[in-house]
Structure 1
Amino acid sequence: MQFEFKFSKETVSFEIPEKNFYKELKPNKVEIGLTEQDEVKRSLKEPIASPRLKEIVKPGEKIFIITSDITRPMPSYKVLPCVLDEMKEAGVKEEDITVVLALGSHRSHTEAEKKTLVGEAVYNSKIKIIDSDMAQCINLGTCKNGTPVDIFEPVAKADRIICLGNVEYHYFAGYSGGAKALMPGVSSHAAIQANHSNMVKPEARTGNLETNPVRQDIDQITEFIKIDFIVNVVLNAKKEIIKAVSGHWKEAHREGCRFLDTMYGIEIEAPADIVVVTPGGFPKDINLYQSQKSLDNSKHAVKEGGVIVMLASAKEGFGEKTFEDWMRNKSPMEMIEEIKCNFKLGGHKAAAIASVIQKSDIYFVSDLDDELVRSINFIPFKTAQEAIDKALEKQGENAKILLMPAGGSTLPIVKK
């Protein structure tokens, strides 16, 4: 059986014996109704487990809208105008609205970036556009897991809080979106550290919500600070809005998660001996930092002691300095232990890769130097065919091979 996977701006071909073929995972086809701003407006008119936004906000209240920073794919410039129109119907003035760009522990934005994020019309209005500041937080309590509830002070003192975000799979919070706009979005360094240190626990995994310690903190934050309304969106591969959910912070978010699962969650009978995965070519495989998500998704499809064959150019190298330092200078166990007590952006992705290395061998077909690949505990191969043949040799002639041509956006779910 012949297959062709995207690799950088080209494709690579390989063959696998028919008797070894198990399954090829591709996004499910789902029925799409309205899209883009039409879908956002629909969701605002049909909120989930909540009154309409225009029935919640009142003139004269200090209203804070929390949305994502420049590192996230959330199209705030599309969603914000719809939300603002709804609030104007309630008589809310622009001077009483503040948009907070939730930085978490990321860097501040330039003014040009702020304009890009919120759109020119909103940027040039009387609405205040500010970055969150993890050094300007006040403590509201402590979560059951011991995580402090430290919230950006202006948000903590707001009359109304509206959270925007996009729902996609998150490799240790389960899913993005929902109350994640507050934790870690507008939280302190100490809170982010405590919350993210739980990422190494087995329950902190893609697609898991209720028993996930990272998500438990995120959701419990609402016991200390009220989220009045959310608007979350699901995007397709072209970053177009194909689903919007508005209303109650939890009920609407969970509806968004369920929709995501219908499209990208794919059930399998059992884990495979060998998984062949690609992020999907350029720009998703431009570096190892970007390619990590597909590797993390593939770990859910492979048996303990199996082989993941990863096809990713990564021609620009690691893509992030801390990530590179950890990958090149720490053992997998050192990365996992250090992230528990010293959470660092970049290091967290290295620790996630370390957990995959502990479960399976990673045969890596890339544009990187072989010695460099070996130094990060991957096994280098020049071609996909060579890697697959070697994996079959290791796993046995009856080994089952599962294929993931869209590794970053498909989540294998083993049937219970």
Structure 2
Amino acid sequence: MPYGQEYVDLDVTVPHEIIAPAKVKAGNESEIIKQALEEPIGMESFASYAKKSDKLLVLVNDATRPTPTSKVLKELHPVLKDHPNVKFLIATGAHRGPTEDELRYIFGDFLEDFRNNIYVHDARKDEDMVYLGESSNGTEMYLNRLVTETKNILVIGSVEPHYFAGYTGGRKSFLPGVAAYRTIEMNHMHALSDKAAPLALEGNPVAEDMEDAMKVLKDLRVFSIQTVLTAEHGLYAMIAGDLKLSFDLAVKRANEVFCTPCNKTGNIVLTVAPYPMDIDLYQSQKALENGKLALENGGIIILVSKCRDGVGDDTFLKLLCCAQTSEDVMKKIAEGYKLGYHKAAKMVQIGMHAQMWAVSDLDTDTLKMARLKPHTDLQETFDKAIDATRAAGKEPYAVILPQGSLTVPLLK
């Protein structure tokens, strides 16, 4: 099982199935990237696009995503280094800014070449935002002014299923990527909807908001690069060109990798947040959401995550601390939504029907506040889950997701 950047052995002696991304083969990275750039969908080649752009802004993901940004930049470097006016904006959403190590993870060998032109989006800096209109769901669209000032935008993203936005990638680079905190908060409030689910785009209010953001940005010239990775972060596919067309095709390729048939629900589900999605508890919760799709009512779900940076945004944790019951949590949310409350709502929904355990470097008190039963040793924890299941009069059946943050179980 992945744990941080290492692996931990797990001996499984009960009936089980392993639900993991499909064993697709990574191709030749350089060839895949070159072909995508030379044959973009619905647009001219990137070299031609860049030549016609007096100013160019490159939106890149932060280090919570496994996007192979540096590998893409390697192919783009000859064009970008000669461009007279190019800037980079790290689309952090509401996350913190990157550390020096994370900057190197994102930009690789090209960090020093571009360092003076790299900007980090800060959703809380209202002076950096510009108002662009309102979505059909009532979300006020405030985005980083660098976007509208530059107008020529290169987006480098990665597409995989997302537990309430349907999928990452594409339009997500703009909202929440470079949106104001209030805009992200209004958008994420829609995550409370039952229609906000993995693989859901049509009728999903979160995804619809993101589409609306692109409608108010219709005057931009966007060149999109969307990557699809294997579970081991190798490059499976890359589609370049028009933002929507490249995203739609990347979604189809992502489904080939991350949607996995599941024979039946388990009374034990072990779900791992692998590196780099194990950065904190806030991000790791996605592994719980995917894992619950394979969980039997009354079962035990075990989250495995190092949580290298601790909790992350602790708004959801504060809500869980001050609420005694799941009803209290939902009542508090109804009184006034804050960004992060959707995490609390999702966690109490699981807790109403199952036990939630965790194997993590987080301290015991923090895990308890998050309604997670704390554990430290993976094998011991799994064995205890087996004993508890038998004590409840059930024959143990385990569903194991070694890449829980990225795997969507599809029950047959």
- TM-score scaled to structure 2, two decimals? 0.82
| AA matched with 1:344 | L
Which of the numbers 278, 286, 290 marks the counterpart of 1:297? 290
The 1:317–1:13 alpha-carbon spacing in structure 2 relative to 1, beyond 3 Å, is farther
The 1:283–1:124 alpha-carbon spacing in structure 2 relative to 1, beyond 3 Å, is closer
The 1:376–1:280 alpha-carbon spacing in structure 2 relative to 1, beyond 3 Å, is closer
Q: Which residue of 2 aligns with 1:253?
A: 247
Which of the numbers 143, 147, 153 marks the counterpart of 1:161? 153
Q: Partners in 1 of 2:302 and 2:186 — Cα distance?
A: 32
Q: Which residue of 1 aligns with 2:113?
A: 124
Q: Partners in 2 of 1:157 and 1:315 — Cα distance?
A: 37
Q: Which residue of 2 aligns with 1:24?
A: 18
Q: Which residue of 2 aligns with 1:360?
A: 354
Q: Which residue of 2 aligns with 1:100?
A: 89
Which of the numbers 59, 64, 71 marks the counterpart of 2:57? 64
Q: Which residue of 1 aligns with 2:143?
A: 151
Q: Which residue of 2 aligns with 1:232?
A: 226
Unpaired runs of 5+ in structure 1?
Answer: none
Worse overlay, 49-58 or 37-46: 49-58
| AA matched with 2:192 | V
| AA matched with 2:286 | K
Matched, 1:390 2:383: no
Which of the numbers 177, 187, 204 marks the counterpart of 2:169? 177
Q: Which residue of 2 aligns with 1:219?
A: 211
Shift of 1:107: 3.3
| 1:234 and 1:256 in contact (8 A); partners too | yes
| 1:277 and 1:298 in contact (8 A); partners too | yes
Q: Which residue of 2 aligns with 1:410?
A: 407
Shift of 1:313: 6.7
Shift of 1:223: 1.1
Q: Which residue of 1 aligns with 2:188?
A: 196
| 1:273 and 1:306 in contact (8 A); partners too | no
| 1:7 and 1:278 in contact (8 A); partners too | no
Q: Partners in 1 of 2:59 and 2:280 — Cα distance?
A: 30
| AA matched with 2:246 | A
Shift of 1:15: 2.6
- Give the fraction of aligned pairs with identical amino acids, expressed as a percent: 27
Q: Which residue of 1 aligns with 2:318?
A: 325
| 1:7 and 1:311 in contact (8 A); partners too | no
Which of the numbers 223, 236, 245 marks the counterpart of 1:242? 236
| 1:309 and 1:365 in contact (8 A); partners too | no
Q: Partners in 1 of 2:279 and 2:94 — Cα distance?
A: 24
Unpaired runs of 5+ in structure 2?
Answer: none
Shift of 1:146: 0.7
User: For this pair of structures, how many residues does the alignment match?
Assistant: 398
Q: Partners in 1 of 2:276 and 2:154 — Cα distance?
A: 32
Shift of 1:390: 2.4
| 1:166 and 1:233 in contact (8 A); partners too | yes
Q: Which residue of 2 aligns with 1:46?
A: 39
Matched, 1:267 2:264: no
Cα shift readout 1:141-194 (whole Å, capped 9, x = no counterpart): 111111112221121132312211122222221211101111111111221111
Q: Partners in 2 of 1:185 and 1:14 — Cα distance?
A: 40
The 1:361–1:48 alpha-carbon spacing in structure 2 relative to 1, beyond 3 Å, is same
Q: Partners in 1 of 2:192 and 2:288 — Cα distance?
A: 16
Matched, 1:76 2:69: yes
Q: Partners in 2 of 1:188 and 1:321 — Cα distance?
A: 16
Which of the numbers 312, 316, 324 marks the counterpart of 2:304? 312
Q: Partners in 1 of 2:89 and 2:54 — Cα distance?
A: 16
- SS across alignment from 2:191: helix
Cα shift readout 1:44-68 (whole Å, capped 9, x = no counterpart): 1222233322343444622222112
Shift of 1:406: 3.3
- TM-score scaled to structure 1, two decimals? 0.81
- SS across alignment from 2:9: strand
Shift of 1:291: 4.0
Shift of 1:265: 0.6
Q: Partners in 1 of 2:400 and 2:100 — Cα distance?
A: 43
